Amino acid sequence: MAILSSPLQIIASIPPVTRYFTAATVVSSLFYFWLQWSSENGVAAPYLTLIPGSSLFYPWTFFTSVFFETSVVEFVVTLMFVPASLRYLERLWGSIETIKFIVVVVTISNVIAFALNWIEFVALRNADLLLYGMQYHGQMALQVGLLVAFTQLIPEHQVQLFGFIKARVKTLPMAYVTFSTVMCLIGFQCPYIVIQFGWLFSWIWLRFYRKNVGDALGGGHTYGDRSETFAFVGWFPPFIHTPITLLANTAYVYASRFHLIPSGGPDLESNYTQTPGGTRAEAERRRAMALKALDQRLANSSTAPNSSPNPQAPRAPPAAAASKPDAAAVPSSHDHAAENNEEVDIGKAREDVR
């Protein structure tokens, strides 16, 4: 009879960063909901969420606003997706790299959104809307960043959304970005525009800056994932690959010239050979399976004639065999057929290896 784990044991089994991050999200969001319920004129808390006109006086909100979901729908969606995703990545990356990823994606997205609002204010002079009418909050930027991380790790994995929509993991980030673009075009810039910034800067971090401990040749560590399967142009449809490639290559040249990105290491393609779901790892697994099948076929073909002789072949008496030594040297038609079948099986196995 299985003994059910207590809630404390389940909580203790969750990695520390995921556990504390989820707890902070729940407590902060519930506190915000209480403020909404107790306030008659709505919540105006510039010390909790990122408001472009006030955040210069509350700089911690560039990161801490991630813990505040201001609607029940956003709160439920966050709890359904983010904790499970962080748990998976923290066990794969470690706590330090997970913290770096969260801080970079959330903070940089909020900083860019803050700067964009100030640029729009300089152009349009509408402070009530652009500086004090928008508050950035929640984990939309982190959500799309997690989708980018899963695209790097398990791009071909198929998921089922809402019980009936099936999609591959690699298609989800751009679907979320497209949703963000539509919402921004119809007038909901805040908070949906941070989805686009979260997608871009999570890819930049995973492509160039995330430390891969122990993946380099001879030990040590490398940075990022420079494989072709994770290139920037891969996010876009084929008909615009040419201008995107030109733009990305130009940006990479200048970033390298000014030493803005670290070196990828001595063997860039070996960075993610040990990553579950990676292209090279998948190829190695298939090759190992094919070699195993080839070894089994060769072993079966070599032991079959010795262990199971043909019962239909008549046995010659010893005297006859001694008197006619040349007969043993002449193979029968049945032996020719067996050899041909064996060559066909081995040939098929070798094709599997290729």
Q: Which two tokens stand for residue 23?
A: 């707890």
Per-residue model confidence as pLDDT tens digits over 29-66: 999 999 888 877 666 688 999 999 999 999 999 999 99
Per-residue model confidence as pLDDT tens digits over 134-193: 999 999 999 999 999 999 999 988 888 767 778 899 999 999 999 999 999 998 999 899
DSSP string, 213-273: ET-STTSSEEES---GGG-GGGGS-GGGHHHHHHHHHHHHHHHHHTT-S----S-GGGTTT
Per-residue model confidence as pLDDT tens digits over 80-126: 999 999 999 999 999 999 999 999 999 999 999 999 999 999 999 99
Task: Please report, for the domain that includes residue 136, its CATH number.
Answer: 1.20.1540.10
Report the pLDDT value the prediction gives residue 287, as an integer from 0 to 100: 63
Report the pLDDT value the prediction gives residue 290, as an integer from 0 to 100: 66
Report if residue 84 sits inside a domain. Answer: yes
Report if residue 285 sits inside a domain. Answer: no
Structural domain count, the chain: 1
The DSSP letter of residue 212 is E
Provide the residue range defining the domain that includes 93: 8-209
Q: Which helix (H) or strand (E) holds 211?
A: strand 211-213
Report if residue 306 sits inside a domain. Answer: no
Which pTM does this prediction carry? 0.73
Report if residue 353 sits inside a domain. Answer: no
Report if residue 271 sits inside a domain. Answer: no
Q: Kindly list the distances between the CA atom of residue 304 and the CA atoms of 160, 299, 300, 310, 328, in Å, as whole numbers in the listed order.
A: 47, 9, 6, 10, 19
**Omega before residue 191 within 30° of 0, cis:** yes
Report if residue 324 sits inside a domain. Answer: no
Has residue 329 got a pLDDT over 50?
Answer: no
Report if residue 216 sits inside a domain. Answer: no
Report if residue 133 sits inside a domain. Answer: yes
Mean pLDDT within 241-253: 93
The single residue listed with the structure tokens 């969001």 is 29
